[in-house]
Amino acid sequence: MPKFHDENLIVGVDTFDDAAVYRIDKDKAVILTIDFFTPVVDDPYAFGQIAAANSLSDVYAMGGRPVAAMNIVCFPTCLPVDILKEILKGGADKVAEAGAIVAGGHSVKDDEPKFGLSVMGMVHPGKITSNSGAKPGDMLVITKPLGIGILNTAIKADLTDESVIKKAVEIMSYLNKDACESMIKAGVNGCTDVTGFGFLGHAYEMAEASNVSLEIWSDYLPIIQESLGYAKMGIIPEGAYNNEGYLKGHISFSKSIRQEIRSIMYDPQTSGGLLISVPEENSEKLMEELKIRNKTDFNIIGKVKPKGEYTIEVI
């Protein structure tokens, strides 16, 4: 039988966390994570950057610093090898931006391109920001705007112009490094990154792992403006419906919340921001630090409450 528990395994498979954390000694712990996916944009270099940023995000969500990464590549033989070179270059440049190194990797032949990273990071064992650390009274902060999955769906359907594509690439390829540094400076209780399970999915995981409920203020959510129009048109990725189905019975919405806002909250995000649970007395400090560092929209979007009837209430 595989061994899933060890006294030095600080974070494992039990709490919906973004990565595993293994203690080396009293001052050092290793963060281990892996992620890869199919292209979300046509530009191979941009795809490499986005996939790398997404993979590195799990380390930042744990309050860590990326150190080394290994490429994971699936690539068809029918495509020019120059495309693969651009994907790898985009990934390597993003890893370098994070202050880490690419130490190799593995590739296989496949019918569709796929790319991502296995990442190792470092963190002090006493300074891990697990998603199980949220406490009643905490404020909730998100560090990137929502709606990127809807934008990607519109891009694939050729419904967007170049300015929208550029905005989507900038948001997805932006590292959560600045947000991580901000929350370390401020002092927070918990964190997770928002990716394929959508904002509500990852918020649900945080609430369940912390044995709390969350109150979300829908009017305060940072949203990519263009995604609202596409959501009204019904340009919704399949993953949003899957997320909604999984969370049925756990989420309560005020009747006044429009359907497009609900769809955006279920929308699967590619390389989304951090969802942070911060003590109320530290929330102003966190916002100040984010104003200095963070280059995307962010906001306080709710609060943590004692466990109630619903895991999440959206008002």
Instruction: Please list, residue by residue across 7-45, b when 16 or more beta carbons sit within 10 angstroms of its beta carbon and e when fewer do.
Output: eebbbeeeebbbbbbbbeeeeebbbbbebbbebbbeebb
- Return the SS3 of 285: helix
Give the model confidence (pLDDT) of 89-110 as tens digits. Answer: 999 999 999 999 999 999 999 9
pLDDT, residue 3, reads 52
How many residues comprise the chain?
315
The bridge status of strand 20-23 relative to strand 9-11 is antiparallel
Among 43, 123, 55, which Cα is nearest to 92's?
55
Roughly how many angstroms between the first and final C-alpha of the chain, as a whole number? 46
Confidence band of 12 (pLDDT split at 50, 70, 90): confident
pLDDT (mean) for 109-129: 97
Whether the pLDDT of residue 5 is over 70: the answer is no
DSSP states along 128-169: ---TT---TT-EEEE-S-B-HHHHHHHHHTT---HHHHHHHH
Predicted model pTM: 0.95
Whether the pLDDT of residue 15 is over 80: the answer is no
pLDDT, residue 93, reads 98
Give the model confidence (pLDDT) of 125-170 as tens digits. Answer: 999 999 999 999 999 999 999 999 999 999 999 999 999 999 999 9
Domain 139-314 has CATH 1.10.540.10: no
Confidence band of 1 (pLDDT split at 50, 70, 90): very low
Superfamily in which the 9-123 domain is placed by CATH = PurM-like, N-terminal domain (3.30.1330.10)
Average pLDDT taken over every residue of the chain: 95
Q: Where are the domains of the chain?
A: 9-123, 139-314
pLDDT, residue 34, reads 96
pLDDT (mean) for 49-73: 98
Confidence band of 214 (pLDDT split at 50, 70, 90): very high
Q: Same CATH topology for 9-123 and 139-314? A: no
Is the Cβ–Cβ distance between 14 and 6 less than 8 Å? Answer: no
